[in-house]
């Protein structure tokens, strides 16, 4: 099974939700990869980028076809708070990402865009 989700370096490597073959972390590919390398890797593999980096959301506007992006816009929060947030919304975020190119997760809501 090929991974469906590429976890950006700015998100935790050891995280229970992403500990299965559907996920690959940037650190498993290349520790110092540039955003453009991650973008291309995700495009080639038809993967969804999961990130806190707004550059990926912005890049979607000018790159066709873009990979799908799940963008966490939650600022700096504790790992415990992040885990709690993901536990409450991850299934919804995954479902939205199947139908929308961009899913943005805030600490109090989720938005989806095509």
| Polymer length of the chain | 114
What pTM, to 2 d.p., does this model score?
0.93
Whether residue 104 contacts residue 60, with contact meaning beta carbons closer than 8 Å, is answered with: no
Each of the 114 residues of the chain gets a pLDDT tens digit; together they read 789 999 999 899 888 888 899 999 999 988 888 888 999 999 999 999 999 988 888 887 777 788 999 999 998 899 999 999 999 999 999 999 999 999 999 999 999 998
Nearest CA-CA partner of 67 in 91, 50, 84: 50
Nearest CA-CA partner of 94 in 8, 21, 22: 22
């Amino acid at each position: 099974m090929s991974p469906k989700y590429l976890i950006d370096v700015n998100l935790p490597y050891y995280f229970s939700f992403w500990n299965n073959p559907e996920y690959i972390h940037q650190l498993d590919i290349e520790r110092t990869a540039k955003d453009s390398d991650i973008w291309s890797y995700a495009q080639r593999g038809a993967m969804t980028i999961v990130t806190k980096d707004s550059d990926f959301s912005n890049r979607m506007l000018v790159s066709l076809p873009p990979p799908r992006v799940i963008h966490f816009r939650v600022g700096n929060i504790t790992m415990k708070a992040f885990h709690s947030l993901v536990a409450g919304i991850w299934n919804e975020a995954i479902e939205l990402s199947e139908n929308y190119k961009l899913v943005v997760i805030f600490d109090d809501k989720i938005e989806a865009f095509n």
